[in-house]
Amino acid sequence: MVPIGIMQGRLLPPIDGRIQAFPAEQWPVEFPRARQLGFELIEFIFDGDAEQHPFMTEQGRRRVRAAIDGSGVRVESVCADWFMATPLHGAEAATRERALDVLERLIRNSAQLGVRTIILPCVDAASLGRPRDQAVLTDALMRCLPTLTSAGITLALETDLPPDPFQRLLAGLSEEVFGVNYDMGNSASLGFAPADELDAYGDRVIAVHVKDRLKGGGTVRLGAGDTDFDGCFAALARANYAGPLIIQGARGVDDVATAAEYLGFVRARLVRAA
């Protein structure tokens, strides 16, 4: 059975009106809520003040472990949004070194909590549109390869590259450590076809975000946008993907009720794709 999880913060009120942000001191509340709804996983968000994030302090990691043990809801992945503002391929050398230091500490600390995958978003301000960006990123990733290998963690790249350029980027990275986070909604917004993407690199997908977006537009409720969910789930099935699905849907008036609705939506699509 494919494990289904929820993106951190989706069972709590938004932070400063943002659709996604690390929920500061409220985050432990989500664990029992997630369990009650039937979610098996919560994907943590790493953003804000990196040094104050619970993954980066001993006391914080103890609190996360207690929340996991007390609820049975696992944390197997981290969405490292911090690196969108401070990318590993940034313009300044000092900034790149800072980003690499933070990533390596995040890898080591995440391993202590049972995390298996760290998602590295290379979109928006951290886009890889220029060949220089791809080369610099590849160099940084190779430098953190020993840390990833030692920690037993894989790193999933999420990019806005079309299928063929993304496949070429992946070809230069070890498939045992580096893979793809497939974001259904972001791909729909960019106008990419699921079959084209997953035919190109489906065997490298190690994480999936379930989201709906309008083509060229923003996030909407699951089923209200241009994401080809049947096509996505069918293509993932052809690629033999059996990893977790993390729901990253639009907010609702009642976020807990919305999450329950989304869970039913995903379960129904999985049945149809089987």
Residues 201-255 have pLDDT tens digits of 999 999 999 999 999 999 999 999 999 999 999 999 999 999 999 999 999 999 9
Q: What angle do CA 54, 57, 60 make, to 5 degrees?
A: 40
Spatial separation of the C-alpha atoms in residues 24 and 27, rounded to whole Å = 6
Read off the pLDDT of residues 115-147 as tens digits, 9 standing for 90 and up.
Answer: 999 999 999 999 998 999 999 999 999 999 999
Q: Where are the alpha helices (DSSP H) in the chain?
A: 30-37, 58-71, 82-85, 93-111, 131-143, 145-151, 163-171, 184-190, 194-201, 229-238, 255-273
pTM (whole model) above 0.75:
yes
Read off the pLDDT of residues 71-117 as tens digits, 9 standing for 90 and up.
Answer: 999 999 999 999 999 999 999 999 999 999 999 999 999 999 999 99
The first and second tokens of residue 261, run together, are 């609705």
- Contacts of the segment 20-27: beta carbons below 8 A, 24+ positions apart: 20/45, 20/81, 20/248, 21/45, 21/47, 21/48, 22/46, 22/47, 22/48, 22/53, 24/48, 27/54, 27/67
- The answer to whether 73 and 18 have CB atoms below 8 angstroms apart is no
The SS3 call for residue 130 is: coil
Single-letter amino acid, residue 229: F
| Average pLDDT taken over every residue of the chain | 96
Single-letter amino acid, residue 126: A
DSSP 9: T
- The answer to whether 128 and 159 have CB atoms below 8 angstroms apart is yes
**Domains of the chain as residue ranges with CATH:** 4-273 (3.20.20.150)
